[in-house]
């Protein structure tokens, strides 16, 4: 099982995403933004960061990178794609997911251990979670406020495409506490929090058991392995 | 004779009496005369620009040099054993074992951060990160040491918001975890906020790079961002002159940062290093091209021939002098052997980084810079970069100091609480005061996860990052400076800053191994300030010798004063520790209920210069707490020993705010309550309740220990002669009980501790 991790100029969490893939049991494959080659991977992660400096609009320039042509085609063909934070913004700018992400309501960048409720476990990236399960995933963004027009929102809610909602605290003013969503097919998932930062004991969020012991993020990567291997 | 369009060397020879603006460029008359003696003619305007920036206080350390030498002299061979690169390079490098080395340094960006807080703070991060990158290391973390004016002053919010957003903007975008730092408010920093930035990087031994050009024929290449008009004269005009209350706006001299360009540059440089195509590298920071060319040549004992017209410009109208002085950010200079040019080009093109070949290294130790066909610089590079003026400025014992020292807490008759309810009120006042309160409103704006190697970050006592994923080998870093202690006694104050950073690192379970510093002071032209500097540097050097850990580098920031009013002497001291496996690190807060709480060390009635004196009585006077470095060393060794045996559940160092501060923070870290009793402590150490709770006696650590490890732990302390006393137990009631004083629920205490800063700035 090979999972590609795309690096754009300004991508920051690519090495973290590669580590997460490795810890989940798959082989990470580095993909470069300027190449038009997906190297025969079984899934793709668009990691967090500030691709192209977030200039113009977060994710807008990265959405036009050569590699994204291939990612968009493959995603439309069913390849599992996970967009994390800036990667989520790229998915939205690529029209693989609807809506948009705007400046946090309080105007500050925020980094915190965020509680999420899993709303949909029928996607490529969440099939090992239970619906209603509470998980803790680090969140860090300046422009994470999810918005969508009323019609889109109605469709997302009606079709169960909201995958995660913020629990206890809405950290950025997202509509309906939306933290992440998927496409109809369930192969493309985007979210603002960072599952790749909750994969290794000692370096994840705090839990009631011990400091920095949270590994809820590992299930994202295990889910996609589970799906591909059992497909 | 016809005046040429640029001031050439030839023209300078013929016009020796031309009046030059040396004064406006910040040079003193004798310095200008010295340049004329070196060159045996008047300097060209380009040469004058170079000398003026390189001989500025900021670049030349001309007032501090004679004192900084002792950091290199007061060392034993044992202290130098693990030092791969010492002072004088961009940053010191320490061998941490397993083939790994670590480089770290702290630097000031104070003056720009007052004028333009956002860009000033942002480019401060950018600059220190490039210093680390220049050593061949991958930067792995940053920290910031911030000092602002009085919280209630109308200008403070502007500076706080600007500085914090600037650090957040730049640091987050670079992908470097921010793992700790300091925030202090005091009216002495009103017109002179201190914005210090620390970075740490890791490298394999064989990847070490030095800033030198020593092989004739090698190419001199400038790459990264284009050169623009930003930051021109920043060094000489800004950092080396006292602010004038009604002087002109100095905004144009502040640099503007582009963290995206720097992130790309970091990855590009690391790829260049890995490919082995770079023989020497230097970043462009203060003094820009003037600094990079002269330092590279001087360090390599060689010369350089540079065509200035080859510099890629953002603004075509820049004059050669401006190009030499520009402090445009995100630029690097590489020395590349000709045979590697093709490989160099391939890598920079992959990252879409622009570059231009400016010239080449030559054997003759001379720096030649041409502007088209005209020679505009012809100087010995060493005279620019290293043999600048050195001053032994007058020092004078401050006239006000004896009065300040005699105005102690007891001489001033400061009233102590006379009953439990008064004491409870004082506790609340202290822990909710801006300096003692929770700083997470600030630190939550920084990414501390990126990289996936952060083992400890704020609010823990020190930051800790893993260096080797295979073995878990890592480093811990803490910084400290208590300006109030240094105002009372700069010699002891500097030692106290060292002692606290050292203790913080030890409390995390790491072994302290090296020191960096950022010495923030007033004007060196004031003999009383110079005396403070002399005392503080002596205190720090003596302290390092006593602890057996070397200073690996640092930075001096003078002229932090407005009019005649200088800041408190604020020597920020950073200590680096090594830990064989970060899995062994010790958290600062209580994690489990039913653990015993021990206080290590002795409590004395030491309230002079304390948070209690400041918050309750608005008082500063007397003498700082006693510092005993032999005891600090024994304490550190005890914690390491206990941690190796897995006996310590948590450790929190005691510093400003005293015992009560450490108790509150230990409770709130993981929301575990406790019952605390103090009679035995008061009896054993002969102190009253006020001193027991608020004294800032040094050499103390609050430890929690699981019951099963109790006997072993106490035995270990006794065997090493460290005073140990059980003062409480953690519990699950959700309350903090200080017996005979007060009881608070976790929610109450959290609200008091965490509400203060957002209320002021949120």
> For the segment B425-476, what is each residue's pLDDT rounded down to a tens digit?
999 999 999 999 999 999 999 999 999 999 999 999 899 999 999 999 999 9
Report if residue B352 sits inside a domain.
Answer: no
Least CA distance to A208: which residue of chain B? B670
Contact yes or no for B134/B232 (Cβ under 8 A) = no
Least CA distance to B444: which residue of chain A? A111
Q: Do B260 and A49 touch (CB under 8 A)?
A: no
Least CA distance to B584: which residue of chain A? A202
Average pLDDT, chain B: 94
d(CA B547, CA A123): 57
Report if residue B759 sits inside a domain.
Answer: yes
In the prediction, which pLDDT does B2 show?
64
Report if residue B714 sits inside a domain.
Answer: yes
Strand segments, DSSP code E, in B63-152 are 83-85, 92-97, 100-108, 138-148
CA angle B741, B726, B715 (to 5 degrees): 170
A196 touches chain B (CB under 8 A): yes
- The gap between the terminal CA atoms of chain A, to the nearest Å, is 12
Report if residue B599 sits inside a domain.
Answer: yes
Strand order in the sheet with B178-185: B83-85, B92-97, B100-108, B194-204, B138-148, B178-185
Q: Say if residue B236's pLDDT is above 50.
A: no
Q: Say if residue A88's pLDDT is above 80.
A: yes
> For the segment B156-201, what is each residue's pLDDT rounded down to a tens digit?
999 999 999 999 999 999 999 999 999 999 999 999 999 999 999 9
Give the long-range contacts of residues A223-227, CB within 8 A, separation 24 or more: A223/A123, A223/A124, A223/A125, A223/A126, A223/A127, A223/A128, A223/A129, A224/A3, A224/A26, A224/A43, A224/A80, A224/A82, A224/A124, A224/A125, A225/A1, A225/A24, A225/A25, A225/A26, A226/A127, A226/A128, A227/A80, A227/A124, A227/A127
Report if residue B608 sits inside a domain.
Answer: yes
Report if residue B426 sits inside a domain.
Answer: no
Share of chain B above pLDDT 70, in %: 97
In the prediction, which pLDDT does B91 show?
85
Task: Quote the minimal CA–CA distance from B504 to chain A in Å.
Answer: 18
Residue among A111, A203, A210 whose CB faces B453 most closely: A203
Q: Is A151 a catalytic residue?
A: no
Task: Quote the minimal CA–CA distance from A109 to chain B in Å.
Answer: 5
Strand segments, DSSP code E, in chain A are 2-7, 27-32, 43-46, 81-84, 100-102, 110-118, 134-141, 145-147, 162-166, 178-182, 188-191
B351 touches chain A (CB under 8 A): yes
Q: Do A111 and B173 touch (CB under 8 A)?
A: no
d(CA B118, CA B608): 35
Tell how far CA A2 is from the center of its chain: 18
Q: Say if residue B83's pLDDT is above 70.
A: yes
Share of chain B above pLDDT 90, in %: 88
Contact yes or no for B624/B489 (Cβ under 8 A) = yes
| Mean pLDDT calculated for residue range B559-564 | 91
CATH number at residue B648: 3.90.650.10
Tell how far CA B18 is from the center of its chain: 43
Q: Is B109 a catalytic residue?
A: yes
Residue among B165, B260, B591 whose CB faces A52 most closely: B260
| Mean pLDDT calculated for residue range B686-697 | 98
| Mean pLDDT calculated for residue range B578-601 | 96
Q: Say if residue B495's pLDDT is above 70.
A: yes
Q: Do A53 and B451 touch (CB under 8 A)?
A: no
pLDDT band at B240 (very low <50, low <70, confident <90, very high): very low
> For the segment B127-143, what is each residue's pLDDT rounded down to a tens digit?
999 999 999 999 999 99
Q: Do B452 and A49 touch (CB under 8 A)?
A: no
- Which residues of B are less than 8 Å from A194 in CB distance? 449
**Which structure tokens are listed for B197?**
């930035």
pLDDT band at B252 (very low <50, low <70, confident <90, very high): low
- Which residues of A are less than 8 Å from B761 in CB distance? none
Q: Say if residue B343's pLDDT is above 50.
A: yes
Mean pLDDT is lowest, of A65-79, A200-214, B85-99, B642-656, for B85-99
pLDDT band at B247 (very low <50, low <70, confident <90, very high): very low
In the prediction, which pLDDT does B302 show?
94
CATH 3.40.50.300 fits A2-230, yes or no: no
- Which residues of B are less than 8 Å from A55 in CB distance? 260
Which pTM does this prediction carry? 0.95
Q: Say if residue B239's pLDDT is above 60.
A: no
Does ipTM exceed 0.85?
yes
> For the segment B367-383, what is each residue's pLDDT rounded down to a tens digit?
999 999 999 999 999 99
- Which residues of B are less than 8 Å from A196 in CB distance? 452
Q: Which domain holds residue B657?
A: 588-762
Structural domain tally of chain B?
Answer: 1
């Amino acid at each position: 099982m090979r999972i590609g991790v795309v690096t754009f100029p300004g991508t920051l969490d690519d090495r973290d995403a590669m580590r997460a893939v490795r810890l989940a049991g798959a082989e990470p494959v580095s993909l470069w933004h300027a190449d038009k080659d997906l190297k025969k991977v079984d899934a793709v992660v668009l990691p967090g960061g500030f691709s192209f400096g977030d200039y113009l609009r977060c994710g807008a320039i990265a959405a036009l990178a050569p590699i994204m042509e291939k990612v968009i085609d493959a995603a439309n063909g069913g390849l599992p794609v996970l967009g994390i934070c800036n990667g989520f913004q790229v998915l939205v700018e690529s029209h693989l997911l609807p809506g948009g992400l705007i400046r946090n309501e309080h105007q500050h960048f925020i980094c915190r251990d965020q509680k999420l409720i899993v709303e949909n476990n029928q996607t490529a990236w969440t099939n090992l979670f239970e619906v209603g399960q509470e998980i803790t995933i680090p969140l860090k963004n300046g422009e994470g406020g999810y918005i969508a027009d009323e019609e889109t929102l109605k469709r997302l809610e009606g079709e169960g495409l909201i995958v995660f909602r913020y629990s206890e605290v809405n950290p950025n003013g997202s509509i309906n506490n939306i933290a992440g969503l998927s496409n109809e097919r369930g192969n493309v998932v985007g979210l603002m929090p960072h599952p790749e930062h909750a994969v290794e004991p000692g370096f994840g969020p705090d839990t009631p058991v011990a400091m920095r012991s949270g590994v809820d993020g590992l299930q994202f990567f295990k889910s996609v392995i589970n799906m591909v291997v059992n497909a | 004779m016809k005046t040429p369009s640029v001031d050439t060397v030839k023209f300078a020879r013929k016009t020796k009496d031309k009046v030059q603006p040396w004064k406006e460029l910040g040079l003193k008359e004798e310095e200008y005369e010295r340049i004329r003696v070196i060159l045996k003619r008047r300097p060209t305007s380009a040469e004058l620009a170079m000398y003026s920036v390189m001989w500025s206080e900021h670049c030349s350390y001309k007032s501090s040099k004679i004192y900084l030498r002792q950091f290199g002299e007061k060392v034993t061979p044992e202290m130098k054993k693990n030092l791969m690169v010492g002072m004088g390079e961009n940053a010191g490098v320490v061998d941490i074992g397993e083939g790994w080395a670590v480089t770290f340094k702290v630097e000031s960006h104070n003056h720009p951060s007052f004028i333009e807080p956002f860009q000033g703070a942002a480019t401060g991060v950018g600059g220190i990160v490039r210093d680390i990158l220049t050593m061949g290391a991958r930067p792995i973390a940053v920290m910031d040491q911030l000092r602002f004016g009085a919280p209630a002053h109308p200008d403070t919010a502007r500076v706080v918001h600007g500085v914090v957003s600037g650090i957040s903007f730049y640091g987050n975008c670079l992908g470097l975890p921010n793992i700790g730092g300091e925030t202090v408010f005091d009216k002495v920093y009103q017109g002179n906020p201190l914005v210090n930035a620390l970075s740490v990087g890791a490298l394999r031994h064989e990847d070490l790079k030095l800033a030198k050009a020593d092989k004739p024929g090698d190419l001199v290449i400038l790459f990264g961002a284009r050169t623009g008009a930003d930051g021109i004269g920043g060094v000489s005009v800004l950092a080396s002159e006292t602010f004038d209350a009604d002087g002109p706006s100095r905004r144009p001299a502040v640099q503007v940062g582009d963290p995206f360009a720097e992130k790309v540059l970091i990855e590009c440089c690391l790829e260049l290093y890995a490919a082995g195509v770079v023989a020497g590298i230097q970043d462009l920071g203060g003094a820009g091209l003037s600094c990079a060319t002269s330092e590279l040549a001087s360090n390599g004992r060689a010369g350089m021939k540079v065509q200035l017209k080859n510099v890629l410009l953002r603004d075509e109208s820049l004059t050669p002098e401006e190009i030499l002085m520009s402090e445009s950010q995100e630029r690097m200079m590489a020395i590349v052997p000709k045979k590697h040019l093709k490989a160099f080009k391939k890598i920079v093109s992959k990252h879409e980084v622009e570059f231009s070949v400016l010239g080449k290294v030559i054997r003759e130790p001379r720096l030649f810079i041409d502007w088209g066909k005209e020679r505009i610089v012809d100087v010995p590079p060493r005279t620019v970069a290293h043999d600048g003026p050195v001053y032994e400025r007058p020092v004078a014992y401050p006239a006000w100091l004896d009065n300040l020292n005699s105005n102690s807490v007891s001489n001033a008759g400061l009233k102590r609480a006379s009953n439990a309810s008064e004491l409870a009120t004082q506790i609340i006042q202290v822990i909710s005061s801006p300096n003692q309160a929770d700083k997470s409103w600030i630190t939550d704006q920084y990414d501390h996860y990126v990289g996936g190697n952060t083992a400890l970050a704020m609010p823990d006592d020190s930051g800790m990052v893993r260096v080797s994923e295979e073995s878990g080998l890592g480093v811990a870093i803490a910084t400290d400076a208590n300006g109030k202690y240094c105002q009372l006694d700069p010699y002891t104050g500097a030692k106290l800053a060292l002692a606290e950073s050292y203790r913080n690192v030890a409390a995390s379970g790491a072994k302290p191994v090296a020191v960096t510093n950022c010495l923030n002071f007033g004007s060196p032209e004031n003999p009383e300030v110079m005396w403070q500097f002399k005392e503080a540097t002596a205190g720090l050097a003596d302290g390092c010798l006593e602890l057996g850990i070397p200073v690996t580098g640092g930075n001096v920031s003078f002229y932090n004063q407005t009019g005649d009013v200088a800041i408190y002497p604020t020597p920020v001291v950073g200590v680096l520790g090594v830990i064989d496996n970060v899995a062994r690190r010790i958290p600062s807060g209580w994690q489990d209920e039913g653990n015993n709480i021990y206080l290590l060390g002795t409590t004395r009635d030491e309230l002079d210069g304390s948070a209690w004196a400041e918050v309750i009585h608005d008082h500063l006077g007397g003498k700082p707490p006693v510092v005993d470095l032999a005891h600090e060393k024994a304490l550190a060794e005890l914690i390491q020993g206990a941690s190796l045996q897995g006996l310590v559940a948590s450790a929190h160092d005691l510093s400003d705010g005293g015992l009560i501060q450490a108790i509150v923070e230990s409770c709130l870290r993981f929301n575990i309550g406790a019952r605390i009793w103090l009679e035995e402590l008061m009896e054993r150490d002969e102190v009253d309740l006020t001193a027991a709770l608020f004294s800032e006696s040094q050499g103390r650590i609050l430890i929690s220990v699981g019951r099963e490890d109790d006997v072993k732990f106490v035995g270990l302390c006794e065997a090493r002669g460290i005073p140990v006393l059980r003062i409480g137990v953690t519990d699950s009631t959700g309350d903090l009980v200080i017996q005979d004083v007060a009881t608070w629920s976790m929610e109450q205490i959290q609200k008091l501790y965490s509400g203060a800063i957002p209320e002021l700035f949120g």
